[in-house]
Amino acid sequence: MSALRSYRLLVVWQARRMRMFLPLGIVVQALFALGIVAGYPLLFPALDRTTILYLATGAPVIALITMGLVAVPQMVSAAKTEGTLSYMRSLPIPRIVYLLADMTVWLAVVIPGVVFAVVIASIRFGLDLQISPLVVPAVMLVALTATSIGYALASLVPPMVANMASQVLVVFILMFSPLNFPADRLPGWLATVHSVLPIQAMGEVMRGTLDTNSFPLTAGAFLLLGAWCAASFAATGVVLTRRA
Amino acid sequence: MLLEVEGLTKRYRRGATPANDAVNLNVEAGQVYGLLGHNGAGKTTLVNQIVGLIRPDSGSIRIDRHDVVADPGFARRLCSIQPQSQVPIDGLTPRQAIEALGRLRGGDRRVVASRTAALIEYLDLGEWRDADGARLSGGVKRLVSFCMAAVEPGRVVILDEPTNDVDPVRRRLLWAQVRALAAEGAAVLLVTHNVIEAERSVDRLAVLDHGRVLTEGTPAELKAGIADDLRLELVLDPEASAIETPQFAGPHTVVGNRIVATVPERMAGEAAAWARDLRRNGRIEEFSVSPATLEDAYVALVGSTTASHAAAIAINPKEDANVRAA
């Protein structure tokens, strides 16, 4: 049976399985974006243009990352616990196809939130964003990387640990990652950490494609992200194929 | 032989007691092969090695003469499996889930649709055909996951406790479908601890205990050791005092308020008279004497677990020691 046919059937299977969750997931993603755009300004007495631009372009990235690093590990851990993962592994389907099908459904959940975040920020702050067509590959790369890391995390560690880790990651991403603020505000050591982690690069590729006038787009960020994506995708592939 | 397992050994941790210990097994096409054993006997470990979810420490597994330890993908193409755990189908209807599995296993859309309809009809699942999987009872889910393994069956069909939670009427229908799979040429490996049902449905069986195959053969061969024995079953009066089984009775087991023991055929009259006396005195509620079953042979082989009521009943100490030794 062709991989493409398996992929199609699995996407339908997963979409149906998550039928109840899909609309809810989309609403939560949208609320999340709305919260960042409308809620963060409450923290600051006056908003300058830089702050506004960071908030507007940070919101969609945060929507993408939290989906991959928080929702995915939780759902994959649940699938592990209830035995879905083993069942899927016992079927004559290439593991990579299973992973890609799963990611496709995740992407469908997160995209409306991303679009909504950009639209709501533009309206709220009256922005005229210069969006590059490169935003499409940027979104795909960020989503794929975040989901792969989330998947690898959930596959490698026990469900309890994965859930705890995903909670810690939320705080780290929201408060201590240069997504809603420039990286130069970080203390030196944290800036160094972020220069190798994928989070800052995710912010950079999204910002650079969402408003080409205000932010530079560097090949370095794409490369770093590509490396993380490949590594975590490979790790997940290995874990899914591994026999106990 | 379609499925050949030889010297299969698996330890989950180094130095631990093996979950499978030099297991040998051969299943032919057209055969229903039972794998019996207590919880933790190593049945599911064996199954998971066949479909390539677990790698054996040593030994070989061949399907159609193909080494599937080296090529687990081949095993997954040739085996369809109903796992022991429930297959989560929340959000899907039984019809969608069964059809999806048939097509994922490479079945043609129309063939799969008609086979799905036939299975649903036969197992009398029509009422739930288009109901949400999340709302199905355990037994119905079990039947649906059987259908998922049977809709586009592999040459080897592995069923891990297929009848759990299933009502008695549909159980019979299910067993007929299991036989039908074999009749169509599949090698069916059936994992169960329901010995009574297995006796009626399997062609051959192996009894697994602590990871080892204790014995292997047809149900009749396994019963040969106790062929001249009868089965004496007593239902105790919960208020009554302890009962000592007579000297002529074999090892007995206690489950809840039931005592089951084997007695030699020539002592049938004495056994019945003895039990009638107990009933007259109100110490038991009822009794029966019947031909020994595969279950009796199984218990004689692996011993038994006794339920809570056993503690309240003093059992003939000498006999009890016999059971433990067995």
| A92–B105 CB contact, under 8 Å | yes
Lowest-confidence region among A134-143, A191-200, B136-145, B215-224:
B215-224
Q: Closest Cα of chain A to B193: distance in Å?
A: 21
3-state SS class at A191: helix
Q: A47 or B104: which carries more pLDDT confidence? A: B104
Query: Which residues in B lie closer than 8 A to residue A244 (C-beta atoms)?
Result: 12, 53-55
Say how far residue B161 (Cα) sits from the centre of its chain: 6
Q: Which of B8, B13, B50, B53 to mutate to test the interface with A (most CBs of A within 10 A)?
A: B53
**Which of chain A's residues have a Cβ under 8 Å away from the Cβ of B87?**
83-84, 87
Give the pLDDT confidence of B79-116 residue by residue, as tens digits.
999 998 888 888 899 999 999 999 999 999 999 999 99
The answer to whether B148 faces chain A, any CB pair under 8 Å, is no
Q: Which of B89, B104, B141 to mutate to test the interface with A (most CBs of A within 10 A)?
A: B104
Name the strands in the sheet holding B252-255, side by side, starting at the edge strand that comes first in the sequence: B252-255, B258-264, B229-236, B284-291
Distance from CA of B3 to the nearest CA of A (A): 17
Residues B37-79 have pLDDT tens digits of: 888 889 999 999 999 889 999 999 999 999 999 999 999 999 9
Interfacial B residues in 87-116 facing A (CB < 8 Å)? 87-92, 96, 100-101, 103-106
Residue of higher predicted confidence among A141 and B223: A141
State the SS3 of chain B: CCEEEEEEEECCCCCCCCCEEEEEEEECCCCEEEEECCCCCCHHHHHHHHCCCCCCCEEEEEECCEECCCCHHHHHHHEEEECCCCCCCCCCCHHHHHHHHHHHCCCCHHHHHHHHHHHHHHCCCHHHCCCCHHHCCHHHHHHHHHHHHHCCCCCEEEEECCCCCCCHHHHHHHHHHHHHHHHCCCEEEEEECCHHHHHHHCCEEEEEECCEEEEEECHHHHHHHHCCEEEEEEEECCCCCCCCCCCCCCCEEEECCEEEEEEEHHHHHHHHHHHHHHHHCCCEEEEEEEECCHHHHHHHHHCCCCCCHHHHCCCCHHHHHHHHHC
Separation between Cα atoms, residue B265 and residue B77, nearest integer Å: 50
Average pLDDT of the segment spanning B170-191: 95
In this complex, do B104 and A13 lie within 8 Å of one another by their Cβ atoms? yes
B-chain residues near A1 (CB < 8 A): 104-106
Q: Which residues of A touch B77 (CB under 8 A)?
A: 92
Separation in Å, CA of A90 to nearest CA in chain B: 6
Nearest to B53 among A9, A82, A89 (CB): A89
Highest mean pLDDT among A76-85, B171-180, B289-298: B171-180
Please judge whether A9 and B104 are an interchain contact, meaning their C-beta atoms are less than 8 angstroms apart. yes
B86 interaction partners in chain A (CB closer than 8 Å): 82-83
Domains of chain B: 3-217 (3.40.50.300), 225-325 (3.30.70)
State pLDDT tens for residues A175-232. 888 988 888 888 989 999 998 999 999 999 999 999 888 888 888 999 999 999 999 8
Of residues B6 and A159, which shows the higher confidence score? Answer: B6
Chain A nearest-CA distance from B302, in A, is: 29
Out of B51, B86, B91, the one facing A16 most closely (by C-beta) is: B91
Pick A91's closest partner by Cβ from B76, B86, B91: B76
CB burial of B281-311 (b: ≥16 within 10 Å; e: otherwise) equals eebbeebebeebbbbbbbbbbbbbebeeebe
Please name the member of B76, B85, B92 whose beta carbon is closest to the beta carbon of A92. B76
Residues of A in contact with B73 (CB under 8 A): 92
Contact B83 A86 (CB under 8 A): yes
Tell me the count of A-B CB pairs closer than 8 A. Answer: 71
Q: Does A9 sit within 8 Å of B100, measured CB to CB?
A: yes
Would you call B92 and A89 a contact, using CB atoms and an 8 Å cutoff? no
What is the per-residue pLDDT for A17? 85
Q: How far is A91 from chain B (nearest CA, A)?
A: 6
User: What is this model's ipTM?
Assistant: 0.82
Whether residue B176 is predicted with pLDDT greater than 90 in this model: the reply is yes
Identify the pLDDT of residue A1.
Answer: 60
Enumerate the domain spans of chain A: 3-241
Closest CB to B83: pick one of A6, A13, A87. A87
In this complex, which of B54, B55, B77 lies closest to A92 when CB atoms are compared? Answer: B77
